[in-house]
Each structure stands twice: as C-alpha cells, then as structure tokens.
Amino acid sequence: MKQRYGSAATTAKPATTAKMGGTLPIGLAAGVVFASASGYPVGSLGVAAASPFLLTAVRIAVAAAILAAIAVATHARWPKGRLLVHCMVVGILGQCVHFAGLYAGLAAGVPAAVSALVFGLHPVVTAALTAGLLGERFRWPRVLGLCLGIAAVVIALAGRLIAAGTLDAGSLLTLIGLLGLAGSAVYQQRFCAGVDLRAASAVQLSTAVPPLVVLAVLERGTVTDWSTAALVVLWLVVVNSIAGTSFILHSVARAGAARTSTVFCLVPAAAALMAWPVAGQIPSAGAIAGLVLGFFATLLGVGYFQRTPQDPVRDYPSLSSTSK
C-alpha cells in the first residue's frame, strides 16, 4: 500500500517530486489494480496449501533476497546508524505484523474480499494516526472518510461478529495487520525521510524474516500441497512485489502519487471479483455494502475531493509493501 509502494528512485525525493496532474493510462492503472488485488485470492489459496506464518516467512525471505540483489547491483545507498534502526522498525511493522496478520486472517477464514477491503482503508487509518501522533491537520473529508471506513469494516465483518458473538480471531488478526501497515507508514514518515527506497525495502524485508521464522516454528508450520504453495509464493513475489512495484512507480512518474493512490480504491472490488472464480468465495451482501462504502472512504482518505490533494506517497512504508 507509494504504497506507493525504474529503476526505482534512489531516494524518497524523486517519488515526492513526481510530476503531478498527468493522465494515467488505463492499461497502467489496470496493471496496478490487477497486481495488487490478485494477492488476496491467491493468498487464500496459499494458506490452504501451507501454514500462514510459514508461507509469509518464505514469501518475505525470497522478496528480501531479490530486492537486496537489486539494491547491490544498482549501488543503492544503504541506511546506517539510527536510520538503519528506524528502517528495521518499519520492517517489523510493515512487513512482519502486516503480512502475518493478513495471511493468518485469511487462514482463519476471513474472505479475500473482506481482507482487501480492510487493508484498502490503510490510507484513511494512516491519515488518522498521522493527525493524532504527528500533529498534522485532519480536514473534514478525511474525518468523513475515517467514519465511512469504520462503517465499511463493521458492515463487512458483521456476519462474523454475529456468528462469533465477539471479535473472532480472523477479524482481530486482520485488524492487527492493518494497524501494522498504517503504523509503519507513520513511523517511516517521521523517522525515515530521504531514505533510498531500494535499500530501505531490502532492509525492511530482511528484518521481518527472523520473527516470521520464529512464528512459523511456533505454529509448527507445514505444507500440505507443495506445488500450490510454490506457485503461490512465485506469484506473490513476481506479480505482487516486483511487477506491482514497477506498475506503481511508472504510474507515479506518469500521473503523480495522488492520482495513483486513487486507483487503489478499486482494489477491494477487483479482489472480490477475482476471489469468486479463483477461491470460490462469493461476496456476501455485507461485504458488497462494505466495498461500496470503502470505495468512497478511500477516495476521501487520499484527498480526492480536495482542490489540492496531499501527495499520499509519504503515507506508504516502502515500495515492497504496496502489493499484497
């Protein structure tokens, strides 16, 4: 979720100074939506073939190795000292907590469409956390977006809440993952300005691997379908992480981060459509209502209805977190 996440820009500066106001080609926008949305139904297939924390650990480890190789090959500027520590904190929140919560929630039965809806609201949650923790102004469109976002999540999860009589484990894990993603965005904005995104993403992913391995050991992770698990990891790394990041970077360069971020409003609905044939998950009435509310909540959250929307590039923790 910069978000937002050509060579990739060597520092955060090129991303924030991308030309704004250009037209975003339909094909490029479709690539962003497809790469991002496909991770949810494919993730559902993955957690059916392997334990969620084991799947997460392998996916993150492979992505870390690839991004580290890219960073070395392109002579990226590696963070040092306190900046390195801050990047590691972002990695724990944005990679470990985020993806562990996402895949554990899917394994616990949260439908892909609902999971996409919850995580699709992270710009709104990030804006609220930024206002509360960093003292930024929280204008009325984002207040309304936050309220609509909360309503969307409650409606989408209503069936699970009613059935369990309380917040079930899957819903709780998904919300924890959302807080990890939003928290990493706020932390990066506060402590990691000007970092080289290629090196920072490699550091963040690498930092997340050890705790994920510990979680995989504690859950006694197993693989029940090796071929499916391998194909899922391959898809998540190549399509979501690499192709998705490339689409996003090209979109930001072509049309600016603000316009690119509005495209993510379509991700939950696209994930719901994909989950039907891929995972056999038919969206419930509550999920459909939540998707509609979530669409408008995210538009408000990214400042779409403001005359001069803020550039949401800063709301995203790293290039590697943008796609699921």
The answer to whether 154 and 313 are in contact (CB under 8 A) is no
**Cα-flanking dihedrals φ and ψ of residue 65, to 5°?**
-65, -40
Give the lowest-confidence range in 207-216, 250-259, 266-275. 250-259
Statement: residue 20 has pLDDT above 60: no
Q: Which residue has the higher pLDDT, 294 or 231?
A: 231
pLDDT at 27: 81
Confidence of residue 261 (pLDDT cuts 50, 70, 90): low
pLDDT at 53: 96
Average pLDDT over residues 208-218: 96
Of all residues in the chain, the percent with pLDDT exceeding 70 is 76
Per-residue pLDDT tens for 26-62?
A: 788 788 889 888 989 999 999 999 999 999 999 999 9
- Interior/surface letters 216-225, b for 16+ CB within 10 angstroms, e for the rest: beeeebeeee
Per-residue pLDDT tens for 94-115?
A: 899 999 999 999 999 888 888 8
pLDDT at 314: 44
pLDDT at 316: 44
**Cα-flanking dihedrals φ and ψ of residue 194, to 5°?**
80, 10
> Nearest 10 degrees: CA dihedral of 187, 189, 193, 194?
120
Alpha-helical (H) ranges within 74-121 are: 81-91, 98-107, 112-120
Statement: residue 90 has pLDDT above 60: yes
The answer to whether 281 and 266 are in contact (CB under 8 A) is no
Q: Which residue has the higher pLDDT, 10 or 91?
A: 91
User: Pick from 245, 297, 260, 270: which is nearest to 66 by CA?
Assistant: 245
Q: Please tell me the chain's helix, strand, coil percentages from 3-state DSSP, rounded to the nearest 5.
A: 75, 0, 25
Average pLDDT over residues 232-260: 78
Q: Which residue has the higher pLDDT, 303 or 242?
A: 242
Per-residue pLDDT tens for 154-205?
A: 777 777 667 666 678 898 999 999 999 888 888 888 888 788 888 998 999 9
Residue ranges per domain, the chain?
12-321
Give the lowest-confidence range in 2-11, 196-205, 238-247. 2-11
> What average pLDDT is seen over the chain?
79
Q: Which residue has the higher pLDDT, 281 or 230?
A: 230
Q: What is the CA radius of gyration of the chain?
A: 18
pLDDT at 264: 73
Confidence of residue 22 (pLDDT cuts 50, 70, 90): low
